[in-house]
Structure 1
Amino acid sequence: MFALVDCNNFYASCERVFNPNLNGKPVAILSNNDGCIIARSDEAKNLGLPMGAPIFKWENFCKTNNIYVLSSNYPLYGDMSSRVMSILKQFTPDVEVYSIDESFLQFKGFENYNLNDYGQQIRQRVLKWTGIPTCVGIATTKGLSKVANKIARKFPKQTKGTYVIDTEDKRIKALKWLKIEDVWGIGRQLSKRLKAKGCKTALDFANLPEDWIKSNFSVIEARLHRDLNGIPTLTLEEYDQAKKVIATTRSFDYTYSDLSYIKERVATFAVTCAEKLRKQHSSCHTIIVFLKSNKHKKEQAQHSQSRAVHLPYATNSSLIISNTAVNAVTKIFKKGIEYKKAGVMITGFVPTNNYQLNIFEKENPKHLPLMQTIDQINLKYHTNKIKLASQDLERTWKMRQERLSPRYTTNINDIIKVK
């Protein structure tokens, strides 16, 4: 059996744990640079505040409806997420962290357990230890556990936040209730194709012939099809599985035409990519840098370009990756353009301890121990104490966060004081 544990209104719930005055009130969380709405409490949804709404257009709406609008506090959300996930691992060793607020659990050898009661225990412990409300969906496959979770979320009074699909009748009833566009893994375009075929519900999709699914869709849809029919096909994925591409991209707080500022941002992005690369014990061969103007300002000159650089040898050195990225963005940059976003991506990974050497060019052997020392120091102090000279020594990200709540759990100066 599989379970999907999903934190309800996670970003808003994190804020409510430390500010109980927000309980029962409409809450909205903004994206980077306080741009768009990326998370809403149920109260805000019921008022009609749409996801992705630009705050400058909906500011009056939020004020009129007394919606509390907050900047995204990622250090707080990330820390609260790790606390929730650590609690889930107490219930089973088989856990896949699917996103910041969702995890799949697999129950092996739980045949004699009452899984509905077990799901309630999970909810109660997470709520008691972290203050985060959750819903639990349990079924014979990952796909069906996602459906069960939606039912638990939709009907909290009837299910008490936990729902188990453990019979054929429950499976059919659940799939008949779920609309095709709400099925996990069915996107907007795919749902249009399926509706044209006559599929209006998840049950319609599950009843399609397997051979037709295989010939008309990808292997991903074929696996989902089998999962919804109660045939376990989608397995737990390793959370620590090495990535094939690492990217760090950010929108600037404002638009900039200053090359020195953009070079500093790109250098910081590149260093972050290199740190992630070393954590998974990999080195890269390719570095991709892009730079974009603000496409929403049609009256301004537009420019968007990327550049890929292939290195003669594999590296995970912040010095080399940063220097290469800065050189690339310098060639992309055009004078007179107001730039809004930049990013660095690295790929072409090989294991750091096993890759092909180049007879003519190689990395400076001093880089490896230097990077190890920097990582150890930064890990010890839980912050980027040591940076490259090309980086801003004061801040890692420069974002507009005018409505930011305190970092209650990650900054000693923001810890709540009890008087």
Structure 2
Amino acid sequence: MFTKVNPVFALIDCNSFYASCERVFRPDLAKVPIVVLSNNDGCVIARSYDAKPYVKMGEPYFQIKDRLAKQGIVAFSSNYALYGDMSERVMTIIESMVPGVEVYSIDESFADLTGIADATAMGRQLRSRILQCTGIPVGVGIAHTKTLAKLANHTAKRLQAHTGGVVNLCGDFERDWVLRNTAVSEVWGVGRRMTAHLEGMGITSAMHLAKADPWTLRKKFSVVIEKTARELSGTPCLELDEPDPPKQEICCSRMFGKRLTELAPIKEAVATYMMRASEKLRAQKSYCKKVRVSIRTGMFNPDEAKYAKGVVVTLPYPTDDVRLLTKAAVEALDHVFREGFKYSKAEVLLLDLRQPGEFSDDLFAVNQPAEATRVMAVLDEINGRWGRGTLRSASVPSNPDWGMRREMMSRSYTTKLDQLWRVT
């Protein structure tokens, strides 16, 4: 006789992740409000909890610069190398402590706690270990479904003074209290438009949605809302996702730090973007047969002439060799570049991606030389050990003047040897 075991999910979500990363190596900012800006220091994309009452997401920095200074809010340029490395450290700790993990985003993951005797104690252990080893505070929500785990996590953060950052909704009393005291707009997957439709039906709380007839919701809206309602009532409809399959396209594009009018710096930018795209290509162990390169001017300034064009290049053989990919992309720029325009952005797109052995070659087809594969393996090994960009193509500059404006970027404390934290 087998007894069915209800699944137990935990959602581990980093608190104000970008701002928390900035605070790890700046203890003097522990109680200072922080905002993080988008590429080229454009607008606010992240806020610490204590900055949220004063700054809205998406506000342009140039409009609020003086207000931030007056209110003592510190602004940082986005430091994606730091955030990515800190995220990897957090996820590695989680993976070492639980039987199954689904990395949901850069700052949150679902964990499988099924069969663990005291899930709440495990949640507190996860929170303590992550804080101790990385300095990043997290909230942990535990429940029998992923949607309830998300709701539990929201409650853990909202009532952190009472919950200690961990909420377990596996019990009926705890689950019902949270459902009654949570607006339907706060439910995972319920957007602004759906909120208006549901409120028009009298569904204003998460409890109302949990008790609504799922078939009616499916007919009136979609299967997604039906599953959400079932999950809120305690019926699991979502499992931990398997690792994502290899991507069919890989793109790398950036806005320049300033308008470019000459071909040479645009070629440098494309070579730089191709370096990053090829790293992603090799990370998923794929080969590329086609490359698309495109450039464009700014599209919103009425005083600037508009121009955008791209071209697709077929490579002589499927490859992951950054040297061949860069050569093809840079040469393609000669066919799309036009003088007299002020260019603001370039993009490289790797197409026709397949795994080794999936390309149908004939007896006389040219394949990537074995020595090229070995060179790329050495390149990735060196950069993986000593930091991205330690070894790079000769056409990739170290400090280009066309690079993104990041005048307030913090140091790369964990990824560059010359910027390690020093204690004196």
Q: TM-score, normalised by structure 2?
A: 0.87
Q: Is the 8 A contact 1:278 1:316 kept in 2?
A: yes
Label 1:127 to 1:379 Cα distance change in 2 as closer, same or farther (>3 A): closer
Alpha-carbon deviation of 1:140? 0.5
Alpha-carbon deviation of 1:240? 6.2
For residue 318 of structure 2, the aligned residue among 314, 317, 340 is 314
Instruction: Give the corresponding residue for 1:372.
Output: 377
Distance 1:192 1:257 in 2: 48
Instruction: Give the corresponding residue for 1:54.
Output: 60
Alpha-carbon deviation of 1:120? 1.9
Instruction: Give the corresponding residue for 2:18.
Output: 11
Letter in 2 for 1:50: K
Q: Is the 8 A contact 1:178 1:201 kept in 2?
A: yes
- The correspondence of residues 324-363 of structure 1 with structure 2, limited to 5 A, is 324-357=328-361, 362-363=366-367
Q: Is the 8 A contact 2:79 2:412 kept in 1?
A: yes
Alpha-carbon deviation of 1:55? 0.8
For residue 271 of structure 2, the aligned residue among 251, 255, 267 is 267
Distance 1:396 1:148 in 2: 47
Structure 2 portions without partners, runs of 5+: 1-7
Instruction: Give the corresponding residue for 2:34.
Output: 27
Q: Is the 8 A contact 2:258 2:402 kept in 1?
A: no
Is 1:42–2:49 an aligned residue pair? yes
Is 1:388–2:388 an aligned residue pair? no
Letter in 2 for 1:107: L
Q: Is the 8 A contact 1:10 1:132 kept in 2?
A: yes
Letter in 1 for 2:159: F
370-379 vs 15-24, greater mean Cα deviation? 370-379
Alpha-carbon deviation of 1:331? 3.2
Distance 1:196 1:306 in 2: 47
| Per-residue deviation, residues 94-141 of structure 1 (Å, max 9, x unmatched) | 11222221111111211x32x223222222222222222111110111
Distance 2:338 2:414 in 1: 42
- The correspondence of residues 152-191 of structure 1 with structure 2, limited to 5 A, is 152-191=156-195
Alpha-carbon deviation of 1:261? 1.4
For residue 227 of structure 1, the aligned residue among 231, 237, 240 is 231
| Per-residue deviation, residues 164-207 of structure 1 (Å, max 9, x unmatched) | 11134443443343334433233445445545555444444444
SS of 1:46's equivalent in the other structure is: coil
Letter in 2 for 1:122: L
SS of 1:50's equivalent in the other structure is: coil
Letter in 1 for 2:414: T
Distance 2:223 2:353 in 1: 25
Distance 1:377 1:206 in 2: 52
Q: Is the 8 A contact 2:35 2:74 kept in 1?
A: yes
SS of 1:135's equivalent in the other structure is: strand
- The correspondence of residues 97-112 of structure 1 with structure 2, limited to 5 A, is 97-110=103-116, 112=117
Instruction: Give the corresponding residue for 2:127.
Output: 123
Letter in 1 for 2:336: I
Instruction: Give the corresponding residue for 2:413.
Output: 408
SS of 1:89's equivalent in the other structure is: helix
Letter in 2 for 1:177: N
Is 1:210–2:214 an aligned residue pair? yes
Distance 2:10 2:327 in 1: 46
Label 1:190 to 1:244 Cα distance change in 2 as closer, same or farther (>3 A): farther
Distance 2:99 2:378 in 1: 33
Alpha-carbon deviation of 1:299? 2.3
Q: Is the 8 A contact 1:138 1:165 kept in 2?
A: yes
Runs of 4+ in 1 over 6 A off after TM superposition: none
Q: Is the 8 A contact 1:175 1:201 kept in 2?
A: yes
